[in-house]
Amino acid sequence: MKKYDLVAIGRAALDLNAVEYNRPMEETMTFKKYVGGSPANIAIGSAKLGEKVAFIGKIADEPHGRYIRNYMKEQGVDTSYMTVDTEGHPTGLTFTEIKSPDESNIYMYRTDVADLHLKPSEVNEDLIINSKTLLVSGTALSQSPSREAVFKAISIAKKNNTRIVFEIDYRPYNWKSDDETATYYSLAAEQSDVVIGTRDEFDKLENTEEGNNEETVKNLFQYRPELIVIKHGVQGSYAYTKSGEVYEGRIYETQVLKSFGAGDSYGSAFIYALNNGKDVPTALKYGAASASTVISQHSSSEAMPTVGQIERVIRENE
């Protein structure tokens, strides 16, 4: 018996989403503030699904950092394992541009941000030991000391029967080269139980331009992973098990407002399903239904659905 269903580690930042739709960033004048960052979003989404969730990360010692911690706590995330930066590093910011339902862009400002200064000594071993699942996000691997903190968390989880989920979450910011990205992504993926990403993100992991699913899973199944999920956008997703099963997941049509946020909502619902003993095909449905909910709304973190909302989407589309 473990106290927590999920502990997430890594980036907690601010999203400033354009309030004015269908116009480029240079003509956008107003934005709305939300908590952002893939692992923070997944933690919030998991808490809204009723999971017992904790977060390991570093926040800036300023109003934005306090807003992030307060909001996550209000949503049911245990923030007592988050540390406060004392060296003046700022909160990471992301501005989003909503030109159309098919064209949304994100602009990240992540120079020397607080979350990348999480130290290995600030990773709580007992927390990971007492969690069913550890969520690792790829952005935290882009720079030291955050990189070493994540690998410490992975090492603890491997020794204590804590499932490791690696959500690739590729963002070009902070990475110095494709070789560096592929090196650390591969190290994390090879030590994880579940690896989730888009086809483009797996190409970054493999440092190739046009990889294919069969080669990807063949290579990774030589290591620890037991389940690999590769997402193909509107074409759906594919889940591969080490024992040889292949499952195809569909998407659920919705009134799309924006194209970002889908991956984080997919991840929280997919992990929820696995944590609660559901099979892989059902987990794919949960992920797709959750993603369709979030891309129809303005925010990512605030739009995370409940279990009831997810199951209603599945029922209405079956």
Q: What is the pLDDT of residues 130-182, one digit of tens each?
A: 999 999 999 999 999 999 999 999 999 999 999 999 999 999 988 999 999 99
pLDDT digits (tens, 9 = 90+) for 76-106: 999 999 999 999 999 999 998 888 777 888 8
Tokens representing residue 47 in the block: 């808490």
Residue 236 in domain: yes
Q: What is the pLDDT of residues 183-216, one digit of tens each?
A: 999 999 999 999 999 999 999 999 999 899 999 9
Estimate the crossing angle of helix 38-48 against helix 63-74, to 10 degrees.
Answer: 30
Residue 30 lies inside a defined structural domain of this protein: no
- Give how many domains the chain has, as a whole number: 1
Asked if the structure places residue 127 within a domain, the reply is: yes
Domain that holds residue 278: 4-11+38-90+111-317
pTM for the full predicted model:
0.96
Nearest to 43 by CA among 126, 118, 133, 108: 133
**Which percentage of the chain shows pLDDT scores above 70?**
98
Considering the domain boundaries, does residue 193 fall inside one? yes
pLDDT value at 256 more than 70: no
CATH number at residue 260: 3.40.1190.20
Residue 29 located in a structural domain? no
Residue 20 lies in a domain: no
Residue 99, domain member (yes or no): no
Percentage of residues in the chain having pLDDT higher than 90: 83
Residue 198 lies inside a defined structural domain of this protein: yes
**Residue 37 burial class via C-beta count within 10 angstroms: exposed 0-12, middle 13-18, buried 19 and up:** buried
With contact defined as beta carbons under 8 Å apart, do 115 and 101 qualify?
Answer: no
